[in-house]
A = this chain, B = another copy of it.
Amino acid sequence: MTRLPSCVRRCQPSVLLPGLLQAQPVSSYAWNQELTKLCQQRHFIMEDDSGYGPLGTELKNNLAELWWRSVVSLREQVFGISTLHQQRPTAAATSTPIGLIDKNALHTILHDSQLNKKEMAKSIESLLHNQIGLRTSLLQGALEHYVPSLALLNRKLPFGLAEMGTCYRPIHAEEPNGKVKTGESFMASLVWFSSPQTSAQWLEYWLRHRMLWWRKFAVSPSDFSSSELQNADGNREVRIQYNFSGGTETLETLCSLGDEVLVSRCVGSKAKLQCREGRKSVIPHVLSISSCLDTGVRTYLHNSFQEMGSVHTKRRLLQRKVLKLHPSLTPVKVALDMGRGPSNELRQVCEGLLQELQEQAISVWPGYLETASISMEQQLIRYDEMGVLFTILVNDVTLENGIAQLRNRDTSIREMMHISEISSFLTKYITAARRM
């Protein structure tokens, strides 16, 4: 069993799902109360911190899709893989702190009156020894896929194996009763194999690439920084960090691992590990790039949150808060609302437009179905808090000449546009933002 390099052991998700923040307040500074309240109220994060609400789920999915596209889909040398959450008994024995246990089997042992204390302990030890653990990182899975993947590439370097998925680590609660909560983190990992000569350059390449990627979707890119250290194994490790108001958190860790992680796994001949770099045969060096996308979600929520001053509505003065999430990230691209006019006809217009937008894979909030009596000003305040990019308002004017109002979240500007042009305008807007 390969012992995980210290940087990988350490670069476990330092920030966990919202659900676990209470248990270990790593990032109590990271969220001010206003933002927390808004994220819960607008269904990004559950009030009882048990995962993501509909908007948070969509945001997380968008982030994951962008990561996958940037790291896997647009690269010929990167392959996606999918490994088990459980780690093999051989690996699990020393590496995973969380064991899976068959409760029934354990109960049987505990209630076996014929066993003495020593025998009971022994039975339980053996039960535990045979148990499978849960993965704490995605590195092991990629290393297991290394040899089989060589056939795909005719042993040609460099190449990478990418995976996204949940990883686990225990969080010790304060009580010493052994209560364990697993810190679940949704991780994205690229394990990159290159020749020993080029591995340092690749670290630089990927650091630059990944930093640009994180910054691309940010309102204030300067809140992202990197810091380098040499870890206990003498390997280079670079962390991409985000500066939450009050402190920084690690979003991603790039760790140069040499060839040891491959060699130490190899039983027998090393020949099967070898790849080609030009005409030479080499055992590649391994670079592990691991991001916590849960931290990514919180990062972009924090980065995009702006308090904009007050808005007068008919009833009262309201503080306007906006989530200026990047067009590619924001869960709802457009809200569709009806103004004054015959509601049956307007509803039909909305339904047609909804379908057209959905076919273009543009996510729509069907505000026209809203039955609560709420003013358009209040709706817009709500949409800004949801990060909705555009709001379309159709009314009796639309029925006359086809012109609807299109309101931009970031500028608050309302422009008039023919409804037949809206779908292609939005598609172009979102595509352009992604390419920038």
What 1/0 mask marks residues of chain A from 70 to 98 whose CB sits below 8 Å from any chain B CB?
Answer: 00011010011111111010000000111
A126 contacts partner chain B, Cβ-Cβ < 8 Å:
yes
A370 contacts partner chain B, Cβ-Cβ < 8 Å:
yes
**Smallest CB gap from A108: residue in B:** B178
A383 shortest CB reach to chain B, Å: 13
Interface class of chain A by DSSP:
mixed
* Pairwise interchain contact A134-B50, C-beta atoms closer than 8 A: no
Complex alpha-carbon distance, A130 and B102, angstroms = 15
* Pairwise interchain contact A102-B53, C-beta atoms closer than 8 A: no
A184 contacts partner chain B, Cβ-Cβ < 8 Å:
yes
A27 shortest CB reach to chain B, Å: 18
* Pairwise interchain contact A57-B84, C-beta atoms closer than 8 A: no
Taking CB atoms and an 8 Å cut-off, the chain A residues in 220-279 that contact chain B are none
User: For chain A, which range describes its interface: under 10, 10 to 19, 20 to 34, or 35 or more residues?
Assistant: 35 or more
Taking CB atoms and an 8 Å cut-off, the chain A residues in 10-64 that contact chain B are 17, 19, 43, 46-47, 50-54, 56-58, 60-61
* Pairwise interchain contact B372-A154, C-beta atoms closer than 8 A: yes
A130 shortest CB reach to chain B, Å: 4
* Pairwise interchain contact B57-A82, C-beta atoms closer than 8 A: yes
* Pairwise interchain contact B43-A148, C-beta atoms closer than 8 A: yes
Residues of B within 8 A of A46 (CB): 145, 148
What 1/0 mask marks residues of chain A from 131 to 163 whose CB sits below 8 Å from any chain B CB?
Answer: 111100000010011001101101010000001
Complex alpha-carbon distance, A125 and B104, angstroms = 12
**Smallest CB gap from A126: residue in B:** B177
14 A/B residue pairs, CB under 8 Å, sorted by A: A46-B148, A50-B144, A51-B84, A53-B81, A54-B152, A69-B361, A97-B104, A98-B101, A100-B100, A100-B180, A101-B180, A102-B170, A111-B121, A132-B181
A interface list, Cβ under 8 A from B:
17, 19, 43, 46-47, 50-54, 56-58, 60-61, 68-69, 73-74, 76, 79-86, 88, 96-106, 108-111, 115-117, 120-121, 124-128, 130-134, 141, 144-145, 148-149, 151-152, 154, 156, 163, 165-166, 168, 170, 172, 177-182, 184, 354, 358, 361, 363-364, 366, 369-372
